[in-house]
Amino acid sequence: MKIIKDEIEHIALLARLSLSEEEKEMFGSQLGKILDYMEKLNELDTKTVQPTSHVLSLHNVMRDDLPRPSIPRDDAFSNAPAHTEKFYRVPKIIE
């Protein structure tokens, strides 16, 4: 599909691009090839294909939220550089 120079200039204006004459020719040719390739999609028979919003079926992948025992405090603090009896100790960041 041939794209005319006015269309390239309009697209460049919308994209706020300043194109030289060589770039306009190059992008016009490239866009034409892209549109030609996209036209091939019109050749496909899609009458039996159901419309979808996602290619894959979506489902909730989270586990059930069930109460269970938590990690013991001593194990949680084992890698902490500093802690008090109940809390992690971190450097002060607010003056």
How much is the pLDDT for 93? 87
Q: pTM for this one?
A: 0.46
Tens digit of pLDDT for each residue in 31-72? Answer: 999 999 889 888 888 889 888 887 777 777 788 889 999 999
- Supply the pLDDT for residue 85: 86
Task: Match domain 5-43 to its CATH number in 1.10.20, 3.30.70, 1.10.3470, 3.30.1150.
Answer: 1.10.20
Mean pLDDT of all residues belonging to the chain: 88
Between 2 and 29, the more confident residue is 29
pLDDT value at residue 20: 93
- Residue environment code for 11-47, b if the CB has 16+ CB neighbours within 10 A, otherwise e: beeeeeeebeeeebeebbeebeeeeeeeeeeeeeeee
User: Which pLDDT band holds residue 22 (cuts at 50, 70, 90)?
Assistant: very high
Nearest to 12 by CA among 33, 47, 20, 45: 20
